[in-house]
Amino acid sequence: MRRKRILIAAGGTGGHFYPGFALAQAFKERGWQPLVALRPGSAGDALLEQAGIPAAAVDLEGLPRSLSLKLPRFGLKLAKSAWAAHRLVADFKPDAAVGMGGYVSVPCLWAARRAGVPTAVHESNAILGLANRLCRGLGAKVFWGLPPKGGLKGGEALVGTPIRAELRTPAPREESRRKLGLDTAASTPILLVFGGSQGAQTLNRAVPEILKTLAAKAPDAALQVIHVSGEKWLEDTRGRYAGASFKALVLPYITAMEQAYGAADLVLCRSGASTLAELIAQKKPAVLVPYPHAAADHQSRNAAVIEAAGAARAVEEKNLGQALPAVLNSLLLEPEAAAHRRSMSEGCARLALPAPSEAVPALVRAVEALAG
């Protein structure tokens, strides 16, 4: 008997690929035959090969957001990608097609729709990205990772965003601190700072100086910091912590992210969808600094959703110097800081998202129902 087949368009950033990869693995385990569409030369190729999941290349880059000479090139690539997706769908004959938010989703779901294949998109942010808006216009159902503004529409569902298995439950606090070489005393709060896989120069420059100033004003207050700077900014960031009265562990990157989360009492980071899914799973209070140049300012909308639930405080990047010192002081050094953090941890439940372990099964069930 022919196995059911699913086409998953997961090209683009890691925020598109990794949820798509998790979905492909889940469908494979359920007896489906998955095929993942990626941009040529994607870093995800090796991971898919290791997992025994076939991949197909569909070459398309992002739409230029202004009039430029890049527009004709984009138009040519769009036409070529549409033809490639048409051939892909005709040869593979999927029973369902799912886009994970990258531009590769558009030609793949267009071709699937033309062939009468049920289509869906997963939107990990609180607002639809351009690719997903186009796919919804082509008739795709939308499954959300965060509660959308205006609520769910007909046929939509809130399923959460798939994350790595090791991040779905909090790691032991004391053990995580010990593995990182930090003070295990419960009375010493730890701030985890990171800005994504490449770091964030703005955070690397501002946070050390703010923390040093706050610590100097409260010399009796204990504090530790884990700061993931990115390789490019490592030495500069370490230099900015020089002379600090508290311990600062500055790392270029960290592979065991579950240890960093487990050790931390408060997290300061961007508000990309995958990061927020991890914070919610870990029940970590956070100070969110949305990346101001994100497409359609979606990180600000994401942060607003989390802040409205009481699980985070949002600070605009342009206001870091004015607003961040008071926020960090209230959540780290003031006598009521621990109580504030506990309240924020409890706010994660008010988002009413499926449990982290349920994000992939919920998405699988939704797509299977769509495919009949």
And the tokens for 105?
């989703």
Query: Over the stretch 102-158, which tens digit does the pLDDT of each residue have?
Result: 889 999 999 999 999 999 999 999 999 989 999 999 999 999 999 998 888 888 999
Question: Model pTM?
Answer: 0.88
Three-state DSSP at 206 gives helix
Model confidence at 198, pLDDT cuts 50, 70, 90, reads low
Whole-angstrom CA distances from 271 to 9, 45, 74, 93, 107 are: 23, 27, 29, 37, 28
166-351 is a CATH 3.40.50.2000 domain: yes
Query: Over the stretch 158-173, which tens digit does the pLDDT of each residue have?
Result: 999 988 888 988 999 9
Check if 5-160+355-371 and 166-351 are the same fold: yes
pLDDT at 313: 98
* Domain residue ranges in the chain: 5-160+355-371, 166-351
pLDDT at 18: 86
pLDDT above 70 (res 72): no
Whole-angstrom CA distances from 108 to 5, 25, 90, 104, 364 are: 14, 19, 11, 7, 19
Query: Over the stretch 259-316, which tens digit does the pLDDT of each residue have?
Result: 999 999 999 999 999 899 999 999 999 999 999 988 889 999 999 999 999 999 999 9
Model confidence at 81, pLDDT cuts 50, 70, 90, reads confident
Whole-angstrom CA distances from 68 to 60, 72, 75 are: 17, 9, 12
- Segment 340-364 mean pLDDT: 90
5-160+355-371 is a CATH 3.40.50.2000 domain: yes
pLDDT at 296: 85
